[in-house]
Structure formats: structure tokens, C-alpha cells
Structure 1
Amino acid sequence: MSGTPRHHATPRDRRRSRRPGALAALGACAAAAVVFGAPLPASAADPPTEFTLYAKELPADESDGSSESTDRPEVGDTFAFADDLYRVKDGPVVGRDGVSCVVVRASGSGGDMHCAGTLVLNGGPGGQIAAQGLTQFDMTDSAMSGYDIAVTGGTGDFKDARGYIRVTDEGDGYQKMDFRLTGR
């Protein structure tokens, strides 16, 4: 996501590297796809661990003077974003995430995007959680419906994490992420 580009970017490439305007809000929700928190049970036989975190998107770097595209998304359009993670809104930051998404189906003002991300928890428990999912979007609908994202693994204290994250928009710049995890 950072570093030197592999080729000279065309205007089309630049548009694709930006979040489509209406997808920006959905992208923040996809951040939920990659959040972590409480300790996991010692074995898969233990009941699932449930906890909640909140994600707040970091401002995009618009230092090149361009703005987000408001064009309808097309298959292949990509974007990336990062969030700070909190146990309580406006509390201390407990972690961070990075998410990248690609539009895989587009029809009219909606479609599907596949997002994959990694969350990093600071302190104990510590480690990373990997998550991914396919999410529907509708650029004409300002209200986001809740959705589930699969937890596919992790490192450190989350080395065998499995489960899902239920993501909902809190309407105040935060996305609520309810975790249900098993494994260690």
C-alpha cells in the first residue's frame, strides 16, 4: 500500500487507487472486518469469547490535491483505509487495522466488494487477527446494513482464532464490531 509504484499511474489507475466517494463509508465498515480484542478461550471446547470494539477511520491522505471519486464503482476498483481501534468510544486507542477492498461485482449503483484486513492489538493479549469477507454496497443508500466478516486466523495470542465479526454503523463516525471467536 505504500512505497514506489511499479508503473506510471494513468488517470484511470489514480481513480482506482482512491476510495469511491460513497464507498468510503462502506470501507470504514469493512474495517470492522479486521478488529480484535479480548483473550481467547484455551481450547475449542470452551465457549466462544464475545467482546466489542469500535473502529474510527483515519483521515485519508489527500496531499496530492485530488479528491475522492464520486463515479460509480466498476469491477476492479480498489481502495484501502486504516482505523484506530477502541474498547469504548473516545477512549484510549487499543489497536489499529489496515484494510484493502476490491469491487468484484457492480450493477447500477451497487454491487459486491471483497475486503481483507489485519488488526493489531497493543498490549495483552497481543497479536494480529486476519479477517475477510464479501460485502454488498449501495451508493444510493446512506444507511449501512449490518454484516458479518469471517475471522480466518491470527498470530500471537490469536494464533488459531476463528469465528466472525458482526459490523454495524454507529452513525457517529464509529463502526461497532461485535466479535465471536473460538480457538487459540
Structure 2
Amino acid sequence: MSEDISEQLVSLLPKLRRFATGLTGNLSDADDLVQQSCEKALRKQHQWQPGTRLDSWMYRIIQTTWIDQKRRQRSDTVSLDAEAVPETRDPRSEKAAENQNMLDRVSQVLKLLPEEQRVIMLLIAVEGRSYQEVSDMLELPKGTVMSRLYRARSRVQAELGSSDGPGQGSEHYGEKTQ
């Protein structure tokens, strides 16, 4: 791998780890998944096309590696422990306890989502990707991405008891429509 690509890969590690944590549910498994995915990327570097987005390629590798692992394990559930989510609490915040409570509730709701919805929710709401980027990354029609995200948001809102109806309050999820 060229030095430039190696540097790019290293700079992507925090984002890759965050994405993997959302998939696996804990930091240890996420670290293993990122390591396996990076190793796979290094072995198959000839498949990456210079001039394309390295992050998109890596997200796809992580997702397929995760799916392969799940198929091997024949496991139907993935746990997302509150401790697995990176610490976001600001001890100076007057609402730190309330924010932590909401983070814990959202973490629990995320593990209830079907994997295809959770992946899209993580890429769009957490990573800030656009519908088109996710569509390209996952090789899905843009409409499928949008409908899965809608169903995921609706489920999250229902589980959290949101007063906003589905489709409302999308700014809370970091929606990018470009």
C-alpha cells in the first residue's frame, strides 16, 4: 500500500472503530473487526481504485466482514452495551446525567433494529453520510436506503416515545439529502 493510502487508512481508524462498535455492540469485538478489515484491505489493496473514496471502501469491507462473521456464528442477536459507546459525557454539563440516560436508551433501541436498518442508521445518522453515499457504499438503490432509514427512525421514535411523528424532526438524526 502506498504511503498516502496508509496515512489515509490510519486517519480513518476512529471512524471505522465507531462504525464497527455500532455493528458489534462492544469495543473489543469492534477492534477485532477493524483489525480484520484493515488486514483484508491490505491484502486486497489492488482492488481499491485510486481516486475513489477510501472510507467508503473500508465501510463496505467492515460490513461484509461482519456479515461473514455472523454467518459463521449463526447468531441472531447483537448486543450493544452502553459501555461500548464511546464516552460523550461532559462532566461540566448540567445535563450530563440526562444525556447519559438518553444515550443509554438510544443504545438499547439500536440493538432492537434489524441489521440492515442499523447499518444505514449508523452510516447516515452517526457518520453523517448522504443517502447517495450510503447507496453507493452498500450497492443498494437510493430508495431502499431511504425506506430503511425511515423505518429505523420510526422504530427509534416509537421506542423512545418521541412526540414527533415519523418523518418529523429528521434534523435530530443528522440527515443529509444530497
TM value normalised by structure 2: 0.28
TM value normalised by structure 1: 0.27
Give the helix-richer structure, 1 or 2.
2
The higher relative CO (CA closer than 8 Å, separation ≥ 6) is in 1
